[in-house]
Amino acid sequence: MQPAITVHNPAEIDFDRPGKSIYEVAFHYDGTWGNALVPLAVINGTAGAGPGVACFGGTHGNEYEGQVAVWRLMHELDPAQICGRVILMPRLNTPACISGTRESGRDGVNMNRAFPGNPKGTLTYRIAHFVTTHILPLVDVVLDIHAAGSGMQFALCSSFHLVADAQQYQQMKTVASLFDTPFVFIYSSAMASGLLTDQAEAMGKVTIGGEFGHSAGILRQGVQHAYHGIQNVLRHYRMLPGATIKIDPSRTTPPRLVSATSLESYIPAPISGYFEPVLDVGAAVRQGELVGRLYDFERVGDPPLAVSAPRNGYILLQPFQAPLRKGDTMLVVAEEVGD
Ligand SMILES: [Zn+2]
């Protein structure tokens, strides 16, 4: 065990100290005395020079696979084996993690819409600003581990945005595949703004997200892909010794590269109701194929509404927890893309 150092001023964090330093970075509450104490590990490897990698869990508080995987690595990674710098923040939106909610229980703000942050904003904006100004400039690679929030089920995937820079795109594609999830998902940046990954991409970082679970649980396979995937990234950049590993030996194929980059691919529920899946997430579908039935139990005379695939592809997302509200994204069918 290593005692954490509490800092109230980010200038007190020694980002260059060799070895492993574990901090709790204090951000004062907005409306009362007290602080969010945000865990941060800085590991400066003593095995040699190398690039920098930052890894985040708990950007959304009700997504736990990243919190588990990054926390474990915070304690297990040995600086004597590492070249370069690894920065780990396992519970980035600590108040949201404490309350087990997507948004912060303190100011109601979604961390993944708060970037680049604001030094004079409420708590979540101030943590985001700390990441933008103190963490991202120090690294080359940014990994943000998500888990689909509550409600929806995602096919296990690493993900990245379609970016214009060809070299950045190629690197992101390569690094995303190191998580060995069934899918590598290229997703739309038009659905939302202010993401951690938006900010990191804009700063030119190799930026990877991903959905490693669902429904505010802890999915064994999701933790495996996150925990070993992060280490694969370190091995890929020769920051950890050894070759990258196959994480899921039961699947012989490499991750399938799929894309849904236009907003038309994110289909909103036409009515509030209860979604019965006909297929599992990850299933291959043909355009027009039945994928689910939507029930309006308020209208006893209505049969369930048939939900069909808008195009050929793979079901990346569908509802899991019932009920579903009108307008919520109900279905994403992603298309396979070639190299
Ligand atoms: Zn999330």
Q: How many angstroms does the Cα of residue 59 sit away from the middle of ligand 1?
A: 6
CA distances from 62 to 43, 48, 162 (A): 26, 37, 26
Closest CA to 88 of 125, 53, 123, 126: 53
Q: How many angstroms does the Cα of residue 95 sit away from the middle of ligand 1?
A: 15
Facing residues of 167 across strands? none
d(CA 275, CA 322): 7
Percentage of residues of the chain with pLDDT beyond 70 = 99
Instruction: Check whether 28 has a pLDDT greater than 80.
Output: yes
Instruction: Check whether 339 has a pLDDT greater than 90.
Output: no
268-304: per-residue pLDDT in tens?
999 999 999 999 999 999 999 999 999 999 999 999 9
Instruction: Check whether 26 has a pLDDT greater than 70.
Output: yes
Q: Which domains does the chain have, with CATH numbers?
A: 5-259 (3.40.630.10), 263-336 (2.40.50.100)
pLDDT, position 238:
98
Count of C-beta atoms within a 10 Å radius of residue 89 = 27
pLDDT mean over 85-95: 98
3-state secondary structure (DSSP) of residue 65? helix
Angle made by CA atoms 215, 38, 61, in degrees to the nearest 5: 10
Count of C-beta atoms within a 10 Å radius of residue 324 = 24
Instruction: Check whether 1 has a pLDDT greater than 80.
Output: no
pTM: 0.97
pLDDT, position 289:
98
Q: How many angstroms does the Cα of residue 66 sit away from the middle of ligand 1?
A: 10
* Residue 160 pLDDT grade (very low, low, confident, very high; cuts 50, 70, 90): very high
Q: How many angstroms does the Cα of residue 18 sit away from the middle of ligand 1?
A: 32
pLDDT, position 188:
83
Q: How many angstroms does the Cα of residue 5 sit away from the middle of ligand 1?
A: 28
Q: How many angstroms does the Cα of residue 81 sit away from the middle of ligand 1?
A: 31
